[in-house]
Amino acid sequence: MNGVANLALARQSSVGQIAFIDLKAQQRLIRERIEERLKAVLDHGRYIAGPEIEELEAALVARTGAKAAVACASGTAALIIPLLARGVDTGDAVFIPSFTYNATANAVLLTGATPVFVEIDPVTFTMDAEDLERRIAEVRAEGRLRPRAIIPVDLFGTPANYPAINSIAAREGMFVVADAAQGFGGRLNGVEVGNLAPITATSFFPGKALGAYGDAGAILTQNPDDVEAWASIRWHGTDAARKESVRVGFNGRMDSFQAAVLLEKLAIFDDELAARKRVAAEYDARFSRIARPQGHHDGAESGHGYYSLCVDNRDAVTAYLGAQGVPTAIYYATPLHKMPAFEAYAPKGGLDVTERVADRIFALPMHPYLTPAQVAFICDNVEAAVTAAG
């Protein structure tokens, strides 16, 4: 082993193993309180629809400023339920970015509607409002589909351009469902994610900034009248007494255990968000000269669910980092319109910005329990990796 390799190993040993997302450190901090919460569920025995569900819904409303919240089984369920409630169906066009997780497109297709892929902004990687207008105009001109809904995505934690998108939706007679699966904790002009669009769907998958210990999600609304239909759909479409089906629904419920976990994680969320912001600020300061970190719209504050940046020679950079003990991930190497399940809906000519970003993007460790030494180690190695990759 040469001297350079020995030095690299020594530095890695000095900072310890770096986790991409560190749920174990978080659990050590709050495990006792989580165990108390879970014991309470075991004691009352209401594993579905326990009191923790309503407590969580109230806490989410208090946190975000939304008028109401409905807890559900997953982020995907949180997207499907409001679409079903609005009667989205075959012949409807729902406009979504291609640069997102496949759940966004799956939710649209499971209602029978057609996804229309929209280009992303080259700075924020969120839905491009100008391209959205063009796509809506094209669909109207073609006359085959009805423009019905828009699902922007708060990618990696940064809010989409809601002032522009909400304005377009109002003008076009459409409605907006914000896909905030990665956005919890973000803000735009002082307003929390969850209250930036008429309807917001979020995910509490374990790896999210606010994550459960299993699948879970929630829908937030600016209109309390939405709650009755949403609560019914998540419970097989039954009435309030849960005796008769009054609409089509499915099993979209959150269990009480997940709500119990989320309540304790929500209690420390602001402290964790502050730590995430410190890590992101250090990353931005170190990388802005050598790479292209995700940018944000004016007035936007990210919830820093993930930290991604674009570089040339990505594979060489990530290979170098892996060899030094710095874990990375790629969100998303393949845009949705190039995946087999969705390629039938790909726009003619592709999506140039989306495809360029997908070829260059990768994510670095982002969680509240990174030590200053680990952050410095990551930054030093990213700088070295980019330099080595040329």
Instruction: Convert the pLDDT of each residue in 180-237 to its tens digit.
Output: 999 999 999 999 999 999 999 999 999 999 999 999 999 999 999 999 999 999 999 9
- What is the residue type of 193? V
132-145, pLDDT tens digit by residue? 999 999 999 999 99
Where in the chain do CATH 3.90.1150.10 domains reside?
A: 3-23+268-389
pLDDT for 224-263, tens place per residue? 999 999 999 999 999 999 999 999 999 999 999 999 999 9
Mean pLDDT score, 47-76: 98
pLDDT at 332: 97
pLDDT over threshold 60, residue 1: no
Section 106-131 average pLDDT:
98
* Among 289, 305, 347, 359, residue whose Cα is nearest residue 122: 359
What's the mean per-residue pLDDT of the chain?
Answer: 96
State the DSSP string of 291-323: SEE----TTEE---S-EEEE-SSHHHHHHHHHH
In this predicted model, which residue has the larger pLDDT, 11 or 94? 94
The domain defined by 3-23+268-389 folds into Aspartate Aminotransferase, domain 1 (3.90.1150)
Report whether pLDDT(374) > 90: yes
State the pLDDT confidence band at 14, using cuts at 50, 70 and 90: confident
Half-sphere exposure of 80 (CA within 13 A, CB side): 23
Q: Please tell me the pTM assigned to this model.
A: 0.95
Give the separation between CA 287 and CA 379, rounded to whole angstroms.
8
Q: Express as a percent the part of the chain with pLDDT over 70.
A: 97
pLDDT tens-digit series, residues 273-309: 999 999 999 999 999 999 999 999 999 999 999 999 9
Give CA–CA dist 33/352, Å, rounded: 48
Quick one: which H or E segment has residue 41? Answer: helix 23-44
**CATH code for residues 29-267:** 3.40.640.10
All CATH 3.40.640.10 domain ranges of the chain, comma separated, are: 29-267
Residue 4, pLDDT > 80, answer no
- Residue 75's closest CA among 201, 160, 193, 182? 201
**pLDDT 10s digits, 271-283:** 999 999 999 999 9
> Residue 49 to residues 63, 116, 220, 247, 259: CA-CA distances in angstroms?
21, 36, 18, 20, 10
Reported confidence tier of residue 317, pLDDT bands at 50, 70, 90 = very high
Q: Which 3 state secondary structure label does DSSP give 160?
A: coil
Per-residue model confidence (pLDDT) at position 12: 60
Q: For residue 61, what pLDDT band results from cuts at 50, 70 and 90?
A: very high
Q: What pLDDT does residue 284 have?
A: 97
